[in-house]
Structure 1
Amino acid sequence: MIQKVGQIMVYVNDQDKAAQFWTEIMGFRIIADRDKEEEHRGIEIGPANGAETSIMLYNKDFVARMSPGVTLGTPSLMFISDQFDQLHANLKEKEIKVGDIVQLPGGRVFNFADFEDNYFAVMESNEA
């Protein structure tokens, strides 16, 4: 029986640049940098305030060679923010590609792109 989602694997071309984006732009923290000197390096990142689920950044070329059947596309991730408007404004100030805020049945949402043009979404927290 599955208890929770532990990690989401994101395959990137440049792990250091990806980690820089998530830490410096998005405010995440590096939880672990495994096998730093090896080709199969994995960088685990997550929100600075902690979360049960983390993101693992793996080298796309390495994964393609080791697991040829794996889909290397970026997963569609929806983040939740309790500082939604501030986050949207901060990303724009940092000249990150940011979409307009749109109203969906579940709440307000916008998307943004990382340094490799992978797009992700943010939804406004509805917790009061």
Structure 2
Amino acid sequence: MPYAFNRFGKVTVYVKDQEEAKDFWIDKIGFVLKMEQPMGPDFSWIEVGPSDDEFTTLVLYSKEAMEQQKPEAVAHPSILFSTNDIEAAYEKMKQNGVKVEDLLKMPFGTMFSFKGQDGNDYLLREDK
């Protein structure tokens, strides 16, 4: 019998500066702080998400701490976010100073790439 998976819980993104990453995701992208808890003198467990009601979160984990714990785990994941209004999201992110690529209108949907505070690439796609 297969395991009963019913949704994604957390996606970890390894960041150089947790405070800078938290500010980026909250102030520029519009996410909310879901949890922040110290994990020692040098870093915290920080989770952000699209809304208070959303179950799935991004964990903004210290890249330096993970390199010491498990160096092979630090590769950046490919993350695709979803929105119901791609043009509004695109304009808001541009206004907030997020580095965005051109909107791509494809037969299967509209999307664009954007860069996080560490220069990592993300994708936002419209789901209707």
**Do they superpose with TM above 0.5?**
yes
Alpha-carbon distance in structure 2 between the residues aligned to 1:118 and 1:83 = 23
* Divergent runs of 4+, >6 A: none
Question: Is the Cα contact below 8 Å between 2:8 and 2:56 reproduced in 1?
Answer: yes
The aligned residue for residue 30 of structure 2 is 27
Instruction: Indicate how the Cα distance of structure 1 residues 105 and 97 shifts in structure 2: closer, same or farther if over 3 A, else same.
Output: same
**Matching residue's letter, 2:123:** A
What's the counterpart of residue 93 of structure 1?
Answer: 95
In the alignment, which residue of structure 2 is the partner of 1:55?
A: 58
Aligned to 1:77: 79
The Cα RMSD (Å) is: 1.6
Partner of 2:10: 7
How many equivalent residue pairs?
125
Give the TM-score taking structure 1 as reference length: 0.88
Displacement, 1:73? 2.5
Question: 1:50 offset after TM fit, Å?
Answer: 2.5
Task: Kindly indicate whether residue 125 of structure 2 is the aligned counterpart of residue 123 of structure 1.
Answer: yes
- Give the TM-score normalised by the residue count of structure 2: 0.88
2:117 equivalent to 1:111: no
Contact 2:32/2:51 (8 A) holds in 1: yes
Asked whether the 8 Å contact 2:18–2:43 carries over to 1, the reply is: no
